[in-house]
Chains A and B, each alone.
Chain A
Amino acid sequence: MALIEFQAIEKHYVMGDQTVRALDGIDISIASNEYIAFVGSSGSGKSTMMNILGCLDRPSAGLYHLNGKNVAQLNQNELAEIRNLEIGFIFQSFNLLPRANALSNVMQPLIYRGVAYKERKKLAMTALDRVNLVDRIDHLPNQLSGGQRQRVAIARALVTKPSILLADEPTGNLDSRTTIEIMKLFDELQQEGHTVIVVTHEAEIANHCHRIVELKDGKISNDHRPDGVS
């Protein structure tokens, strides 16, 4: 069974007396260990897709099975639990807690799982080691470079051992050299067995992935494998 299963997912926003169909009947199935990119211009429904995939928002209609569980109609607290267990977020603007150092940032999601401090620290150190930042654990986010911040964010996503790594324009705030570095890290993580979903508007980033889904006006307009990927 697929890891992610969308069936006729719709998301409507009411703007004044107008209803905007941000997602308009999406059917998609994503298997475990896939490396998939959602692309599209702004207004195509990319962000909404990411919010629903990440269980930050509920669809207006349709079924969303994640790991075999229908999460489409869960309440906020249940969604929070799903996010904590299943999803590792990586954001364009890193979204680290500004007053917490790298280690505390990586430990943060484990607090909501009720993991004790010692165990939290051990797991966080392992995750930080994976992204080669063990020597920066005492640094506050503003003492780190953009690439380092994004690696802290990736460590925070990894520490909970989630089903999905969900990256939203992960290189949007990075220079080209760091972009390559981060994308290489994603490639490795996928090879290690993680399911990586990237939402982006950059073709270059999307081309790293093994499957590209193009969105247009809230619908899937194209679902293909890029050149050179079999």
Chain B
Amino acid sequence: MLFALMESSRSAVASVLAHGLRSFLTTLGIVIGVAGVIAVVSLTEGLSASVTDQFQALGTDSLTVRSYTPIKDRMKGIQSRLNDSDLSLIETRVEGISSITPILFARRASQVRFGSQTTFSQIFGTTQAYQDVAQAYAEQGRFLVNSDSKTRRRVCILGETVREQLGLPRNAVGEYVEIGKEWFKVIGILEPKGELMGFDQDDRVILPYQTMQSLLGNQSQTDIQIQLTVADQSNIPVVVARVRSLLRKAHGLTREDDDDFRIQTAEQLSETFDRIITTVTLVVGGIVSISLLVGGIGIMNIMLVSVTERTREIGICKAIGAKRHHILMQFLVEALLLSLLGGIIGLLLGYGLGVLIAMSIPSFPPATIPLWSIVLALGFSAFVGIIFGILPAAKAANLDPIDALRYE
């Protein structure tokens, strides 16, 4: 068996080399198919790995509670809200929380001005606990303290991007910026965090919570987000359930009503993202594998031509003693070799393509190529080779020696 395989490989290599250009064109379908799969996989794998890292950095023990209004209600003018009493309810009635903070966003992106420079940024008010919950620390100056909020101080903490855009000096502590017609003293600059899924995490301005409340005015119209971290990560499901039942009761929801809020965990976010990536990979992979199928049919086609071309040779081999399996093996190995060759070329090409694309998109994570995709690509090309090689090989093996010898 091994002997026959070796002899078949020897003659298959000779035959593939004898028709260099034709062999290459034959494998092109497989090359394109595999290259496509590998390019997509290497890109999404790279993306997924970097996003997972970023979510890990976010802290997997944190939860975000935000209000949620179904579209149906929104069209009726109903707006769900979370407010301070929800916050204190969770704070006092849920066990296992290590820190909790409200976040109050400005209703729209607001202008920030320093001297002649202006920029738009995300502005929100929060409390001292935010730095533990969001792992946002001051690189210069200090973070908020409770008294900032209580006394509604006009102070702010800037993200790195905002500082740059306003043309503030590196040590900007003590400068004054104008936010919505009010002047705020800069007390700190945040540590840069980079981007998360294309969002600049350094483009923000943090104000004391109650300062923000007073800026927004009408308290009954405000809608806050609540961020909290749990002491024990394995406790997350319990905390989520407890928060949910408390809020449902507080909001007077009956059994039939849906939640008017959403509780998000970092893990959930990352899972959602993973699911999106998996779907993209599957869809693109599915489309591309059609190309593999077409490639396989191309190989079958050329192998059939090759069998016809070599009918006389097959006749000679049979006359001097080749059995069915000798001929079958010879053509099957040749088809396998063609498809594997295409698979390998496609692998290199696809990886190159992935690296190139990843490099040409700024801030795109580098392409990585997992082992399973190599195994899958080569395995699938070999499979295609064998499946589409069987028909031509069987045709060759079943030729009658006399007819084959007489074939011109």
Contacts and interface: CB of A to CB of B under 8 A. Distances in A.
Interface of A: 51, 54, 56-57, 76-77, 80-81, 83-85, 89, 91, 95-100, 108-109, 111-114, 116, 156, 160
B324 A76 contact: yes
Contacts of A81: 321, 323
Interface of B: 3-4, 7, 14-15, 18, 312-313, 315-324, 326, 401-402, 405
Contacts of A156: 320
Contact of A108 (B4, B320, B323): B320
A108 B314 CA distance: 12
By Cβ-Cβ distance, the 9 closest A-B pairs, closest first, are A84-B321, A112-B321, A109-B320, A80-B323, A95-B316, A77-B323, A83-B321, A111-B7, A56-B401
Contacts of A114: 3-4
Contact of A89 (B15, B313, B320, B326): B320
Nearest to B322: A112
Given A95-B405, A97-B313, A98-B313, A112 B326 contact: yes
B402 A51 contact: yes
B319 A56 contact: yes
Nearest to B313: A97
A57 B318 CA distance: 12
Contact of A99 (B15, B317, B319, B401): B15
Given A51-B402, A95-B405, A83 B320 contact: yes
A98 B15 CA distance: 11
A80 B319 CA distance: 7
Given A56-B402, A111-B7, 7 more contacts: A56-B405, A77-B323, A85-B321, A89-B319, A98-B313, A100-B14, A112-B321
A171 to B, nearest CB: 18
B319 A57 contact: no
A76 B315 CA distance: 13
A80 B402 CA distance: 12
A95 to B, nearest CB: 5
A58 to B, nearest CB: 11
A85 B323 CA distance: 12
Contacts, number: 62
A80 B322 contact: yes
Contacts of B401: 56, 76, 80
* Most central of B15, B18, B323, B324 by chain A CB within 10 Å: B323
B323 A112 contact: yes
8 contacts: A76-B323, A80-B318, A81-B321, A83-B321, A95-B316, A97-B313, A99-B14, A113-B321
A159 to B, nearest CB: 10
Given A95-B405, A112-B326, A54 B3 contact: no
A95 B321 contact: no
Contacts of B320: 83-84, 89, 108-109, 112, 156, 160
A114 B8 CA distance: 12
B324 A109 contact: no
A85 B312 CA distance: 21
A75 to B, nearest CB: 10
A99 B330 CA distance: 15
B14 A108 contact: no
B317 A108 contact: yes
A84 B318 CA distance: 9
Contacts of A109: 320-321
B319 A54 contact: yes
Contacts of B324: 76-77, 80
A87 to B, nearest CB: 9
A96 B316 CA distance: 7
B263 to A, nearest CB: 72
Nearest to B316: A95
A79 B264 CA distance: 76
Nearest to A168: B405
Contacts of B18: 99
A111 B326 CA distance: 9
A80 B316 contact: no
Contacts of A89: 319-320
